[in-house]
Chains A and B, each alone.
Chain A
Amino acid sequence: MDTIVKIENAGMTFNTKQGRFVALRDIDLTISKGEVIALIGHSGCGKSTLLNLIAGLTLPTEGVLICNGREIAGPGPERAVVFQNHSLLPWLTCFENVYLAVERVFGAKEGKAKLKARTAAALEMVHMDHAMTKYPHEVSGGMKQRVGIARAFAMEPQILLMDEPFGALDALTRASLQDELIGVMAKTGATVVMVTHDVEEAVLLSDRVVMMTNGPAATIGEILEVKLAKPRERLALAHDPEFARYRAAIVEFLYQKQMKKAA
């Protein structure tokens, strides 16, 4: 399989008022095309920091991150990000929010009509075509995150980075968006790295679960390959012994090997 992102010996140290803070160390990870990876760990384990490194929003203090054979020196539209708090611009409609991204990526090559069709198609894919002319504050939290996902997918990125995309949603909305995401990922064959703190979400969505040790100086503890057949069905998997085994492996890592001393 083609490698899209290669992380070699990456580390991140922040200079804070209390002195140097080592957030991440010795991260080695290779992400292949079409792969879905979940980053899981306790809060403060640097999983969001790792995602920001891949996004290029922050640059590593040690090691190197390579995307398509080139060192990541900053953010770029080939690495789209879905933010935890949706980050839609409140003065643009849902359509305009997605269009802004589409225009940036395809504006140089394609006409307005084509760009609009792309935007509409992306919103349709997440079943938000009924709310295109609505402003973000006029739709629910789940719908906003759908638009955020549509914006990222519409850019046709080589890799999609999601920072706890469903973390702020209630359990039922989260489940329906996860199902939505499974469908969209199957349709597009996207490469995804997703930060999560939800064990079931990690098993349900990903091919590999990257489990992080506790911070400070967090690193990759274990990597679990999830070999469940795709497409995955939430209902069918609920009683699947394989699913339970994967879940147990992650829970064991999080609550036995990486027990948090004080929550």
Chain B
Amino acid sequence: MSTATLPVGLNTPAGARTAEPAAKAGAAPAVLAAAPAPAKTASPKSQKVPLMARFNAFLKAVLPPLIGLALLVGIWALVASKESSFPGPAQTWDAATKIFADPFYSNGPNDQGIGWNILSSLKRVGVGFGFAALVGIPLGFIIGRFAFMNSMLDPIISLLRPVSPLAWLPIGLMVFKAADPAATWTIFICSIWPMILNTAQGVQRVPQDYLNVARVLNLSEMKIITKILFPAVLPYMLTGIRLSIGTAWLVIVAAEMLTGGVGIGFWVWDEWNNLKVEHIVIAIFVIGVVGLILEQALLLIAKRFTYDSN
């Protein structure tokens, strides 16, 4: 922030100073020329200081993470050099370039490119999460709005929430009699809790001021929901969504290991059976990167819909 405003502050006095002699020259064309001129003369002068500052800020922001990554790769290479069955960074890099050269090939259900695997995992997460949102968000609104429902459902949620979602997988297999919907069901279960709880909390925390406005204006229930409750709860809901998707992405790998089919989790298991450890390492990185992207994207959306009350 400070580096962004600094050049502006430096620019104006410099521009004003250089503009002055040009204006004193008197002639009309000179005055006209004065307008673009300070921009030209001021820019190299005023950029000198902020350029250094900006470079320093850049170093400060980028250097520590780079050192961290280098350290990780270094330790990895060290461990790999002692242990022959564990692939080193170079070996993994070679394997990765091969895998990512053709991510979307398909040789039957058990041999597909990594792109397809990631996409089918994301699809399961999307469907399971979608259903969880459809159920969880309205339920959260109801729990947040009515104290009776809150006291009624709170013990149930408290009891079920700590249960590992994988414990629900056999129930899913029994009900749906197929592996794929069972995995989706597991995702549904694990994503629903943060959504319910965060939405309910958001509803309970709608500032009394806004509700007073609604009461004084005597707004209809519909207007209260669309103009006051929904926008006020949205940031909380988005936090719930972010937590849900995060957990779902954690759980999908485990669920797919158990259910099989196409998916990044199954791929990890398959590569273990093929004893291609370097592919497992690649999968770990890919899972991490996808999780990071999901998290950052949702944070970005949440930022857009969060309002300062002052």
Chain A positions within 8 Å of B, measured between CB atoms, are: 55, 57, 74-77, 79-81, 83, 85, 87, 89-92, 100-101, 104, 135, 137, 155
With CB as the reference atom, state the residue of chain B lying closest to A104: B217
Identify the interface centre among B209, B217, B219, B309: most chain A CB within 10 Å of its CB: B217
Given contacts A74-B215, A90-B308, A100-B223, 11 further A-B contacts (CB under 8 A): A57-B212, A57-B215, A75-B215, A76-B216, A76-B218, A77-B216, A77-B217, A81-B212, A83-B209, A89-B213, A137-B308
**B227 touching A92 by the CB < 8 A rule?**
yes
With CB as the reference atom, state the residue of chain A lying closest to B215: A75
**B215 touching A87 by the CB < 8 A rule?**
no
Q: Which 4 A-B pairs have the closest CB atoms?
A: A90-B307, A91-B231, A87-B209, A137-B308
**A83 touching B212 by the CB < 8 A rule?**
yes
With CB as the reference atom, state the residue of chain B lying closest to A83: B209
**From residue B129, how far is it (CB to closest CB) to chain A in Å?**
25
**A75 touching B227 by the CB < 8 A rule?**
no
Which residues of chain B are near A55, meaning CB under 8 Å? 216
Chain B positions within 8 Å of A, measured between CB atoms, are: 209-210, 212-213, 215-219, 223, 227-228, 231, 307-310
With CB as the reference atom, state the residue of chain B lying closest to A102: B217
State the CA gap A55–B213 with chains docked (Å): 11
**From residue B189, how far is it (CB to closest CB) to chain A in Å?**
33
**From residue A261, how far is it (CB to closest CB) to chain B in Å?**
31
State the CA gap A101–B215 with chains docked (Å): 11
**A77 touching B218 by the CB < 8 A rule?**
yes
**From residue A14, how far is it (CB to closest CB) to chain B in Å?**
16
Which residues of chain A are near B309, meaning CB under 8 Å? 90
**A89 touching B216 by the CB < 8 A rule?**
no
- Specify which of B209, B210, B231, B307 is in contact with A137 (CB 8 Å cutoff): B307
Which residues of chain A are near B223, meaning CB under 8 Å? 100, 104
**B216 touching A57 by the CB < 8 A rule?**
yes
Which residues of chain A are near B215, meaning CB under 8 Å? 57, 74-75
State the CA gap A10–B307 with chains docked (Å): 40
- Specify which of B217, B308, B310 is in contact with A100 (CB 8 Å cutoff): B217
Which residues of chain B are near A85, meaning CB under 8 Å? 209
**B218 touching A89 by the CB < 8 A rule?**
no
With CB as the reference atom, state the residue of chain B lying closest to A100: B227
Can you give 9 A-B contacts (C-beta < 8 A)? A57-B212, A74-B215, A75-B216, A80-B216, A91-B307, A100-B219, A104-B223, A135-B307, A137-B310
**From residue B43, how far is it (CB to closest CB) to chain A in Å?**
29
**From residue B292, how far is it (CB to closest CB) to chain A in Å?**
29
Which residues of chain B are near A75, meaning CB under 8 Å? 215-216, 218
Which residues of chain A are near B227, meaning CB under 8 Å? 89, 92, 100
Which residues of chain B are near A81, meaning CB under 8 Å? 212, 216
**From residue B238, how far is it (CB to closest CB) to chain A in Å?**
13
Which residues of chain B are near A104, meaning CB under 8 Å? 217-219, 223
**A87 touching B210 by the CB < 8 A rule?**
yes
**A89 touching B231 by the CB < 8 A rule?**
yes
Which residues of chain B are near A79, meaning CB under 8 Å? 216
**A87 touching B218 by the CB < 8 A rule?**
no
**A89 touching B308 by the CB < 8 A rule?**
no
**From residue B8, how far is it (CB to closest CB) to chain A in Å?**
18
Which residues of chain B are near A80, meaning CB under 8 Å? 216
With CB as the reference atom, state the residue of chain B lying closest to A157: B216
